[in-house]
Structure 1
């Protein structure tokens, strides 16, 4: 294992156990512009501050994918999400959907709030938001702000399910890897809500459950 007191960004990455003490170390690394690997309620993820210039490009280089690929944003709560989504977006049926599946394994793609100029890849007027069902990760987002994130793996390969595997595979590109035990193998489901609802990726939540919940929320809102 790498020296835990070695310089930030040393090779291989430093492995730290998830817990209160790790928050300070991870926040420091993120503030310095580093890529960190964190456990989530779905798969291990690579993350940088969403406000970092070239955030999406930095993550894409770390995992070897096209820099134009859209990057999701992890938020601590609905308040952080509302600061990034277009005004009035998180209301009605969408609010009902989030009441049911947030925190959890659902990423919603929404119109972006005017004036939010984050580098997230993809279309500049859209944003993919997820509130993870992980108190430690929510606390990190409260500490440093929303995080641009992607699954921890080489592009085109299966998600890595342990911190040790992340160190072995991606250690040169990652400053810190937070050990949260064995992770899942399914990433979040991605639901595009910019127009007619469309499932872009079926993951932790089945597509049918998402669309049914959205319909139920719409009926409840109209009753």
Structure 2
């Protein structure tokens, strides 16, 4: 049985274990950025599909990206509008990002702040975590903690009450926008509709 309390999940994540918790889009599989290889292994995910760095707030994420003052201003205008929420920005990675987060292109990192109180509580206590949807690669994202516990028995999965059991607010993954150096490129239209 790997369903655990919030405190046990936070302690497990800090200790470098694989954890799962609800977000505002689909439930997340998460680990410390340095332990990101655990996520690739559990999901049977190919190395060319990078993970997302998720945190409780924008200021927690800015140290992991690098850009000019002008770029930071552009990025923050977008995050002020859509964070917390279902928007992932792919930005130039700083030296703080472990290569294992994005093995085939360590120069970029996807970052996001979820609009979910449980996720924010966890992330405010663990610091930024490497995350992705909770599912075997290529399969549909799992929607409940019970399904996650069944498919990933080795993962510390958050116990939720009956009312929270259908934890996925939307079941739609985040929108992913990549900064090209000049403007935005939409890699995936998801929870937030963007038009540039």
Distance in 1, Cα, partners of 2:157 & 2:17: 8
> Are residue 93 (structure 1) and residue 74 (structure 2) matched?
yes
Name the Cα RMSD after superposition: 1.8
Match of 2:118? 136
Deviations 1:149-180 (A, max 9, x none): 00001111111111111111222x41334434
State the structure with more CA Rg.
Answer: 1
Give 4+ residue runs of structure 1 displaced > 6 Å after superposition.
none
Match of 2:56? 76
CA gap 1:15/1:90 in 2 versus in 1, 3 angstroms: farther
Gaps of 5+ in 1: 3-13, 17-21, 212-223
> Are residue 58 (structure 1) and residue 41 (structure 2) matched?
no
Distance in 1, Cα, partners of 2:7 & 2:3: 14
Q: Decide which of 184, 187, 193 is 2:173's aligned counterpart.
A: 187
- The answer on whether the counterparts of 1:37 and 1:178 sit within 8 Å (CA) in structure 2 is no
- The answer on whether the counterparts of 2:145 and 2:157 sit within 8 Å (CA) in structure 1 is no
Distance in 1, Cα, partners of 2:159 & 2:109: 26
TM-superposed CA distance for 1:89, in Å, is 6.7
3-state secondary structure, aligned to 1:59: helix
Distance in 2, Cα, partners of 1:78 & 1:207: 19
TM-superposed CA distance for 1:32, in Å, is 2.3
Gaps of 5+ in 2: none
Q: Decide which of 10, 15, 18 is 2:3's aligned counterpart.
A: 15
TM-superposed CA distance for 1:91, in Å, is 3.0
TM-superposed CA distance for 1:206, in Å, is 1.8
CA gap 1:89/1:110 in 2 versus in 1, 3 angstroms: farther
- Structure 2 length as normaliser, TM-score? 0.87
- The answer on whether the counterparts of 1:29 and 1:176 sit within 8 Å (CA) in structure 2 is no
CA gap 1:164/1:47 in 2 versus in 1, 3 angstroms: same
